[in-house]
Amino acid sequence: MIRSRDVSTAIQRFRQHGGTLRTRQALDLGIHPATLYSLRDSGRLIELARGLYRLAEAPESSDPHLAIVAARAPSAAVCLVSALSFHKITTQVPAAVYLAVPRGSYARITLNPLPVKVFRFNAKSFELGLEAHDFGGRPLRVYNPARAVVDCFKFRNKLGIDVAIESLRLAREQEDASIKELIHIARALRVERVMQPYLQSIA
């Protein structure tokens, strides 16, 4: 492929793909490496992570970490505290990006320089409560509020029961998850008995 050194063409390619591209994608779209690095060095491209660039003119994401996830781990799902944070139903600040993959699949995910915690979820229930959101022109898979809350109860020994209880309270206060939906998912993930007293207390 003949790659163009034209700056305006390179910028147009970025715009056509939501403003964010990985190095390999940029090269595959015909952007010359010298042009890519020139745009970076001049400040017209921002390097979000190694090999991942965003147009400086593009609106900055409220969570640039998730833009990196969407670009570099598209098959994973944002879960647990990271999903709670996405839906604004926690006061916790995630110390790492929490991602889920189906049990039995390849789970080595690196998002340098971001720290990552990868959880292996049951493959049969992996899609339960999973949503696709547009993030910088790319699909980002995130568990919905009800699934995120229930997962926190399921992993309460790792996260702390206080995190799960707070997320349940905030999800109900903001009407992000119905009792019916929470019970349905809790039953599917076999934590209904654990959650029952807390569900009754806020009903």
53-95 tens-digit pLDDT: 878 886 655 566 787 788 778 889 999 999 999 999 999 988 8
Angle at 174 between CA 169 and CA 175, to 5 degrees: 95
Q: Which tops the pLDDT comparison, 21 or 18?
A: 21
Task: Delimit the domains of the chain by residue range.
Answer: 7-55, 65-202
Query: How far is the C-alpha of 4 from the C-alpha of 195, rounded, in Å?
Result: 58
pTM score: 0.73
104-119 tens-digit pLDDT: 876 667 666 678 899 9
Query: How far is the C-alpha of 76 from the C-alpha of 125, rounded, in Å?
Result: 14
The class that CATH gives domain 7-55 is: mainly alpha
- Check: CB of residue 69 under 8 Å from CB of residue 75: no
Domain 65-202 has CATH 3.30.70: no
